Chain A
Amino acid sequence: MDKLIEDFSLGLFFWQLVLFIGLVLLLRKFAWKPILDSVGEREEGIRSALAAAENAKKEMQNVTADSEKLLKEARAEREAMLKEAREIKDKLIADSKELAKVEGDKMMKQAQAAIESEKKAAVADIKSQVANLSVEIAEKVIKEQLSNKDKQLKLVDDLLGDIKLN
C-alpha cells in the first residue's frame, strides 16, 4: 500500500483526466453521435421496412380473403339460381301434369257422355228400325198370308178361334 501511494503519479493522473475528458468530448461530437445516429437510423429503417412488409402481407391476405369471399358468394348465388330453376321446372312439370290430367278427365267425361248419348241414339234408332222392320215383316207376312182366300178365311177362323169371346 505504501508503495502504491509512493508510486502514484499526480502528473499522470492529471494528464489522464485532461486527455481522457478531451477524448470523450471530441469523440462524442465527431464519432459516437454520428455513429449511433446512423446506426439508429439504419435500425429504424429496417424496422419500418419490416413493418411495411408485414402490412403488405396483411393487405395481400385481406385481398385474397376478399376474392375468396366473392367467389364463395358467386358460387352460392349460382347454386341458388340453379335450385330455383330446378324448382320452377319441377313446378311447371307438375302443373302441366295436373292440367293435362284435369283436361284429360274432362275430355274423357265428355267422350263418355257423347258415347252414352250416341249409344242411346243408336239404341233408339235400332229400336225404331227393329219396330219398322217388324212392322214391314209383319206387313209382308200378313200380305203373304192374305194373298189367297183360303188363307184369309183360315186366318179369320184362327183368329176367331183364339178370341172365343173371352
Chain B
Amino acid sequence: MTKFLFVATIFVSMSAFASIEDGNDEEGEKSLKAEITEYIDHHLLDSHDFSLFSIEQEDGSKKHIGFPLPVILWDEGLKFFSSSKFHHGETLAEVDGNYYKLYHSKIYKTDAAGTINYDEKHHATNVKPLDFSITKGVVMIFITGLLMFLLFRGLAKSYAKNGSIPKGIGRFFEPIVLYIRDDIAIANIGEKRYKKYMPFLLTVFFFIWFLNMFGMTPLGVNVTGNIAVTAALAVLTFLLTNLTGTKDYWMHLFNPLGDSMPWYGKLPLYIILIPIEILGIFIKPFSLLIRLYANMTAGHIVIMSLIGLMFIFKSWIGSPLSFGLAFAISLIEILVALLQAYIFTMLSALYFGFASEEHDHAEAH
C-alpha cells in the first residue's frame, strides 16, 4: 500500500507535465502563468469529459487524450448526448434545435452563435439547464463505490471461507473497520445504539479516504474537493442526526436548561438560547462540508501551484526545489486525505451521539 502511495505521489507530481507546455518566447512567460492559473481552476472543477492529459500540437491547437462522458440535461424534456459534441468547450452542441455551450465547466443554453451574456460582475446570465450529466466526478464516485463494494464484499466473503479470519488485503482493512467501530462509533455514540450508524460511518470513511487518495493520482480528480459532493455527505449526516434523534435530543434542543429553573426564569434565556440551538443543528453539518471541501481544495491548489512553479522557474535550482516541495506537500496531502476522512467520520459520529443521547433528567449537564 505504501509503495502504491509512493508511486502515486510521484505520478501526481508529474501529472501536469503533459498539459502545461511552455512557450519559449518572452511573451510566453505571461501566458504560461495565466495558463497555469486556468489549469488549476479547471482542475478544481468537475468536468464533462474524462480527460487524462492534453498535448499542444504544432499548429497551437490542443489534442486531448481521454474519453467523453454522457451529458444529461433537463431542458423542457430530457436531453441526452455525448460530451464529445462540445469538443472541450470549443464548439456548440446542437441538440433538438437547442444550442448548448460549455463555459467554465458549466453548460449554458445559447443562441446559434454561442453568445454568452455577462452581468456587471462578469457572471454569465444565460439560462443554465438542469445538468444531471455523468461527469468526471460522477464516474469517479461510481468507480470508488464499485471498488469499495468489491473490496469489502471480498473481505466479508473471506470471513465466511476462512472461519472469521481475514485474508489478503482484508488484513489491512479489518483493523480500520474495527477502529471505526470501537474508537469512533462506540466511543461517541455508545454501546447501545451505535449499530445502526455503522454502515454510514464505515461507508463515509472509506468513501472520503479513497476519493481523497484518488485525488492524489494523476487521474486528477478532485471529487472530495467539490462542494456539491461534500454537501451531499453533510446533508446525509444532517438527516441521519435529526431523523434518528431521541426524545432527549429534542428536549435538550428546546429545553436546554431542563427543570433547573422556573419557567419565568427560563423565558428570557430561551429567547436567545433556542435560536442558537436550532442554528447549531445546521451549523454542525455545514462545518463538515466546508472543512472537507476547503482542505481538499487547498491541498490541490498548493500542489498544483508548486508543480506549476517548476515550469515557471525553468532553472536547475528552482525546478528541483519546487519539485521537492511538491513532493513533500504530496506526502502531507496523503496524511490529510486520511485525516479528513477520519475527522468527517469522527464528527458525524459525535453528532449521532448527541442525537441518540438518553439520560436521566435529574442528571446535571
Contacts and interface: CB of A to CB of B under 8 A. Distances in A.
A15 B236 CA distance: 13
Which secondary structure dominates where chain B touches chain A? helix
A13 B228 contact: yes
B202 A27 contact: yes
Contacts of A14: 132
Given A8-B227, A17-B236, A23-B148, A30 B153 contact: yes
A19 B141 contact: yes
A75 to B, nearest CB: 51
Contacts of A104: none
Interface stretch (A37-45, A93-101, A128-136): A37-45
B130 A10 contact: yes
B202 A21 contact: no
B145 interface: yes
Given A9-B131, A19-B145, A20-B207, A27 B177 contact: no
Nearest to B137: A12
Interface string B221-236: 0000011110111011
A1 B174 CA distance: 40
A76 interface: no
A41 B231 CA distance: 36
Contact of B228 (A9, A24, A32, A34): A9
B134 interface: yes
Given A27-B199, A30-B156, A19 B138 contact: yes
11 contacts: A13-B229, A15-B132, A16-B137, A20-B141, A21-B236, A24-B203, A25-B199, A28-B199, A30-B153, A31-B148, A32-B202
Contact of B145 (A10, A23, A28): A23
Q: Which of A6, A17, A33, A38 has the most chain B CB atoms closer than 10 A to its own CB?
A: A38
B330 to A, nearest CB: 25
A125 to B, nearest CB: 122
A4 interface: yes
A10 B177 contact: no
B159 interface: yes
Interface string B120-147: 0101000000111111011001100100
Interface string A123-162: 0000000000000000000000000000000000000000
Contacts of B174: 35, 39
Interface string B5-28: 000000000000000000000000
Interface of B: 45-46, 72, 106, 121, 123, 130-135, 137-138, 141-142, 145, 148-149, 152-153, 155-157, 159-160, 164-165, 174, 177-178, 181, 195, 198-200, 202-203, 207, 226-229, 231-233, 235-236
A65 B132 CA distance: 78
Given A31-B153, A35-B159, A16 B164 contact: no
Interface of A: 2, 4, 6-17, 19-28, 30-36, 38-39, 41-42, 45
Nearest to A24: B203
Contacts of A4: 227
Given A12-B137, A38-B159, A39-B178, A20 B233 contact: yes
Contacts of B131: 9-11
B48 to A, nearest CB: 10
Contacts of A26: 149
Contact of B152 (A2, A11, A13, A31): A31
A22 B146 CA distance: 11
A15 B134 contact: yes
A21 B232 CA distance: 10
A6 to B, nearest CB: 7
Given A15-B134, A32-B199, A41-B164, 17 more contacts: A7-B227, A9-B226, A11-B228, A12-B135, A12-B226, A13-B232, A15-B138, A15-B141, A19-B138, A20-B141, A27-B152, A31-B148, A31-B155, A35-B177, A38-B160, A39-B159, A39-B174
A35 B155 CA distance: 7
A20 B177 contact: no
Nearest to A37: B159
A16 B228 contact: yes
A41 B159 CA distance: 11
Nearest to A12: B228
B123 A6 contact: yes
Nearest to A19: B141
A135 B228 CA distance: 172
A31 B152 CA distance: 5
Given A12-B137, A13-B232, A36 B198 contact: yes
